[in-house]
Amino acid sequence: MADNYEMMTEADYYALFEAYANGELAGPARANLEARLAADSALALRYTDFTELTSTLRAYGERQNVRQQLRSMHAAMLAADTAQEYIATPPTEKPATLTYSVNPMLRLSRTEQKLREFWNGHRATVGVAASVAILAVFSTLLGLEWWRAANTKPSLYGYTVLSREVERIKKNQKDLLNQVDKAGAGIVVPKENKVSGTGFALTSDGYLVTSYHVIQGADSLLVEGRDRQRYHAEPVYSDVKHDLAILRITDKKFLGFGRLPYAIKAGEVDLGERVFTLGYPREDVVYGEGALSARSGFEGDTAFYQVSVPVNPGNSGGPLLDERGNLIGVVSGRQNDAQNTAFATKSSYLMRLVDSLAAAKPVAPYHLPRYGQLAYAPRPQQIKKLQEFVFIVKVFE
């Protein structure tokens, strides 16, 4: 066989190579092959291919074996860990918790496993998203707070007082028009009021009550009823601390309000009493109702009630009445950072103010209403009567 290499098939060569690699060739045959390999480069290449092929095959087999081995090692390791766990925990005490202590990774449910994988894979993204969300929320809150702070004028009473600033833009426009008109025809147009609030009749002789902050710094006052009848008025007496002011109508043509349908309550009202108010947050009279929520006002001020009546700028100075139509307070303001929280000066403080008015000897006589007439009327009837005695107070500065 070694003599006639030319006649050999490739398979024959492989048989020869294998015998040679296994050291099974006899001395002369081996020497012959080695000489041929040294001389014949094609044969040498063929031999290299053979060794590479067979060694790759064997290494591939080895790799598969070791892989299998490592897998079973891993399984054995986990199994051993579990076994140790059971031994490590004495089974007599607290049997309920014994399997959950040492290696919790082994006892994950599939869902939890999925969740953990998701968390591990996405925690960076989740973190960024969460920070952006938190940032957005806080900057929005901060922005709103700034905006609110910039739009709320600080008041004497700590909470937001509810006199209404009539639209400045409208005023500015009118001013411009006025200037043009003055230049042309010289007609004097009455000034536009800047602030408005609500007021109501205190006596039939022309005394009215409103909030002090409504008329604060006023040049002149105009009182306008539902029938658009206008009267000039002047402040007679104020109680800055309790946000009260008494006005008197100065017009000569004024004949009196007629008999007042409500009495002023001297005592205090119980919690939970149904209350309502009328006021002029806009050009028309607006009704609002609620309940007496607390017998003290902003920051525990006992001169005020807290009521759950929806009120708006312009409601200040409006009457607060109980179910029977007795006057129990004067609307003063609301707290912006609390829901449905309005404050009203207690009527007892109004009574005290009236008493001091008596002591000061007023220029015009006054008669306080003694008895209410609304006690058993249904609400719409009460309102129909009341609204004749509630006015819009316009302030010119």
Query: What does the binding site for another protein look like in residue numbers (CB under 8 A)?
Result: 10-12, 14-15, 18, 49-50, 53-54, 56-64, 66-67, 69-71, 73-74, 76-77, 105, 113, 116-117, 120-121, 123-124
Of 132 and 360, nearer to another protein (C-beta) is 132
DSSP 21-42: HTT-S-HHHHHHHHHHHHH-HH
Integer Cα distance of 290 and 58 in angstroms: 93
Of 103 and 172, nearer to another protein (C-beta) is 103
Task: Read off φ and ψ for residue 369, nearest 5 degrees.
Answer: -65, 140
Q: How far is the CB of 130 from another protein (least distance, A)?
A: 17
Angstrom CA distances, 15 to 10, 21, 102, stand at 9, 10, 59
Taking a C-beta distance cutoff of 8 angstroms, is the pair 263, 370 a contact? yes
Q: How far is the CB of 26 from another protein (least distance, A)?
A: 18
Of 77 and 144, nearer to another protein (C-beta) is 77
Of 105 and 132, nearer to another protein (C-beta) is 105
As a residue count, the chain comes to 397
Q: How far is the CB of 104 from another protein (least distance, A)?
A: 12
Q: How far is the CB of 117 from another protein (least distance, A)?
A: 5
Taking a C-beta distance cutoff of 8 angstroms, is the pair 159, 306 a contact? no
Integer Cα distance of 94 and 234 in angstroms: 85
**What amino acid occupies position 24?**
E
Q: Give the helix/strand (H/E) hosting 146.
A: helix 110-151
Q: How far is the CB of 1 from another protein (least distance, A)?
A: 13
Of 113 and 229, nearer to another protein (C-beta) is 113
Q: How far is the CB of 88 from another protein (least distance, A)?
A: 17
DSSP state, residue 106? G
Integer Cα distance of 190 and 178 in angstroms: 10
Of 80 and 266, nearer to another protein (C-beta) is 80
Of 10 and 284, nearer to another protein (C-beta) is 10
Q: Is 64 helix (H, G, I), strand (E, B) or coil?
A: helix
Q: How far is the CB of 40 from another protein (least distance, A)?
A: 18
